[in-house]
Structure 1
Amino acid sequence: MSLIVEFELRTPILRHAADAIGELRLEELYGIESGTAKLLFWAIDEEFGPFESALAADPTIAEYTALDDAPDRTLYSVALTDAAADKLTYPIAAELDIAFLDIDLVDEAVVRARVPSRDALFTYRQRCLEKGVGVRLRRIYREQEPDVDPYGVTDSQREALLAALEDGYFEVPRDATLSDVAAELDISDQALSARLRRGQATLLRHTLADDPI
């Protein structure tokens, strides 16, 4: 039975730009014939000017393009610098049959992955360290473990959702602001916004959606 692993991935890729946006949702990593590594991701927030300035200043990004947009999100393609591409750990994960299920790029890069065995996990960690990319394990559990949250939310998402609910953030009118709840949890407004959005999306996928996957 596969393992589910949550870990912090201490990579410099997009770290500067991530500080300027509410949430980044990775869609795809791919390469082109020139050998350039590119990332495709959604940036989710209410305003994107500061984020694009941060993209332009991010030392791991060679160039970026906005491909599509909606009222609260924009799809970006970014080409990584050669030095940044060398820090990518996806090729290692793919080689070891490790599947990344979720990546939260707010505050720090937190990854939830399906891992075939502890040996694969430790091999992945060792090869990341050889690249100069730190890995800090947070949690390991069996995929069908009965005490795992049945709705798929992470511990941090659950904490944020319950705090917002108890403080009256979801009331109409609201009894608490985003900043009030963020201060209680000792995290930034952007981090809380991302956890609430991602947690709500996960709950909807596991309850109302026809296909919970």
Structure 2
Amino acid sequence: MVLIVEFEIGTPILRRTVDAVSRIDVEEIYQSETGSTKLVCWMYGDDLEGVEPALADDTTVAAVSLLEDPGDRRLYSVTLSERGQAHLTYPTAAEYDIGYQEITVTEETSIRARVPTREALFAYRDVCREKEIPFRIQRIFEESAAAGDRYGITERQRKALIVALEEGYFDVPRETTLSAVAAKLDISDQALSARLRRGQANLLRNTIGGPAPT
């Protein structure tokens, strides 16, 4: 039975930055064509003017660009430094077909993930320990017991997929654009694109099967 696991890791990634905000939500993790690792992140806080100085001082960050600024939050593309990449556990998760569903950075980095087996979870835990990254499990439950998790998608992914479907984004030819769907959801094009990709990947893994994307 596939598991939904909620856990915390004590990674230094974005640790300096989160001191300047109230919360960071990581929307997407991916590798660029040059081989660098990038995070697409929403930054939340009462005063966001300190975000960019904090990012500049963060030794896990090599470069950053502002993607969206609706006022109450900001969306950034963050390129990890060598130190940041050295502490990244996402490649290990991908190796063991562990799919991240939600990543939130506050005092700790909280992750909600879909894990194929307990053996995969323990292997991931062991790599965290090898990297001297504290690892603490908060909750484990079977996927079938999770409300709304029939197909392993988060509520935000489900909503994005439904709106895109209803607006004709998946029609051939398309009846709407990515930007129009993003506007209805009040999120950026980049955030919607990431949400749709992850939602579709989760749906495919939970219906026709196949390994998690690396």
Give the match for residue 29 of structure 2.
29
Give the match for residue 76 of structure 1.
76
Q: Give 3-state SS (helix, strand or coil) of 1:39's partner.
A: strand
Give the match for residue 191 of structure 2.
none
Give the match for residue 189 of structure 2.
none
Identity of aligned residues (%): 43
Q: CA deviation at 1:71?
A: 2.1
Q: TM-score, normalised by structure 1?
A: 0.67
| CA deviation map 1:51-105 (0-9, x unaligned) | 2121111111122111222121221111111121011111110111101111121
Q: Which of structure 1's runs of 4+ aligned residues deviate more than 6 A?
A: none
Letter in 1 for 2:15: R
Q: Give 3-state SS (helix, strand or coil) of 1:70's partner.
A: coil
Letter in 2 for 1:102: E
Does residue 87 (structure 1) correspond to residue 67 (structure 2)? The answer is no
Matched residue pairs, number? 160
Stretches of structure 1 that go unaligned for 5 or more consecutive residues are: 153-200
Give the match for residue 138 of structure 2.
138
Matches within 5 A, 1:114-129: 114-129=114-129
Q: CA deviation at 1:26?
A: 1.1
Letter in 2 for 1:38: K
Q: CA deviation at 1:124?
A: 0.7
Matches within 5 A, 1:47-86: 47-86=47-86
Matches within 5 A, 1:152-163: none
Q: Give 3-state SS (helix, strand or coil) of 2:144's partner.
A: coil
- 2:27–2:103 Cα contact (<8 Å) kept: no
Q: CA deviation at 1:34?
A: 3.2
Q: CA deviation at 1:121?
A: 0.3
- 1:36–1:80 Cα contact (<8 Å) kept: yes
Q: CA deviation at 1:33?
A: 3.5
Q: Matched residues in 2 for 1:45 and 1:138: separation?
A: 25
Q: Matched residues in 2 for 1:209 and 1:87: separation?
A: 31
Q: CA deviation at 1:12?
A: 0.3
Q: TM-score, normalised by structure 2?
A: 0.66
Q: Give 3-state SS (helix, strand or coil) of 1:43's partner.
A: strand
Letter in 1 for 2:134: G
Stretches of structure 2 that go unaligned for 5 or more consecutive residues are: 164-198, 200-214
RMSD (Å) for aligned C-alpha atoms: 2.6
Q: Matched residues in 1 for 2:148 and 2:44: separation?
A: 23
Does residue 96 (structure 1) correspond to residue 96 (structure 2)? The answer is yes
Q: Give 3-state SS (helix, strand or coil) of 1:21's partner.
A: coil
Give the match for residue 39 of structure 1.
39
